[in-house]
Structure 1
């Protein structure tokens, strides 16, 4: 090897100035672009962490959609059940139930105290019954 060969290692070869040189440069550029896209695609496939995040996000979105759908179905079913119960229940009974609800809301504290007294009474009675 002579000194010229050693100094030219790694340097690009001179480009021909002929009519086919522009075509050759375009082909080289296309090949570089395709190679760059291929490398990017391979890098994306090799990025397991990013793939896992994308999959988790997709599953999360699916779960949210499914939950919203099920929630809507439950609301509709509950609404139909309420309508069915109202349709089948006689009007006088509905009026009495409405009055009872109104009275219970107006007198919450006494009702809670009465309920607590009943629970305590039952617990004491149950405790004494086991000793006899």
Structure 2
């Protein structure tokens, strides 16, 4: 049975409530993203924090989901998911990460806004052949 500490429910609600939908990102296919602050990445199990991206990817309006997990003062591990029309591994590769077409990630230093700006640029730079027709 999948169980979580009760305090995770409040944190999950707070994180999901702060999620942002950018319908124009990812070549107009949409990006939904959320941030997990350092206090939550250190307080909860990796499985709980990593599972957030699978919840975000259910947003019908966004092809790409991203969760930025703060692991240091200015360090973020970002998990990416796609429903298949965007090759998130190609975008992650531009940022020094990797993965596969539907699930990828990267680590970056900077503010969350800087990491998101880099992600937006990478998603926009994914070559057209990386997009399914």
* Shorter-normalised TM range: under 0.3
TM-score by length of 2: 0.21
The answer to which structure has the higher strand fraction is 2
- Say which structure is richer in helix: 1
Query: How high is the TM-score relative to the length of structure 1?
Result: 0.21
Q: Larger C-alpha radius of gyration, 1 or 2?
A: 1
